Amino acid sequence: MTEQPATSIAEACREVLTTPAPVAKLKAARRVARAWRQGALRHDFDQPMPVKPAWPPRPELLPPGKMPKRGKAGSERGRIALLHALAHIEFVAVDLAFDMAGRFGAGFPRAFVDDWISVGADEAMHFALLDRRLRALGSFYGALPAHAGLWETAARTADDPLARLAVVPMVLEARGLDVTPTTVMRFRQSGDEAGARILQRIYTDEIRHVRFGTNWFEWACAAQRLNPPTHWRALIDRHFRGLVRPPFNDSARTLAGLTREYWGGLASD
CA separation, residue 36 to residues 11, 13, 20, 268 (Å): 12, 10, 22, 44
How much is the pLDDT for 4? 78
**Closest of 58, 83, 200, 182 to residue 133, by C-alpha:** 83
Q: pLDDT tens string for the chain (269 positions)?
A: 336 789 999 999 999 999 999 999 999 999 999 999 999 999 999 999 999 999 999 999 998 777 777 665 568 899 999 999 999 999 999 999 999 999 999 999 999 999 999 999 999 999 999 999 999 999 999 999 998 888 888 899 999 999 999 999 999 999 999 999 999 999 999 999 999 999 999 999 999 999 999 999 999 999 999 999 999 999 999 998 777 888 899 999 999 999 999 988 765 44
Largest CA distance in the chain: 61
Residues listed for the chain:
269
The Cα 36–Cα 117 span in angstroms is 8
**Closest of 57, 59, 117 to residue 88, by C-alpha:** 59
Q: Global pTM?
A: 0.95
Q: Burial code of 74-94, b = ≥16 C-beta within 10 A, e = fewer?
A: eeeebbbbbbbbbbbbbbbbb
How much is the pLDDT for 70? 64
Structural domains of the chain ordered from first start: 73-268 (1.20.1260.10)
Q: Burial code of 8-21, b = ≥16 C-beta within 10 A, e = fewer?
A: bbbbbbbbbbebee
**What does residue 98 show for φ and ψ, rounded to 5 degrees?**
-70, -30
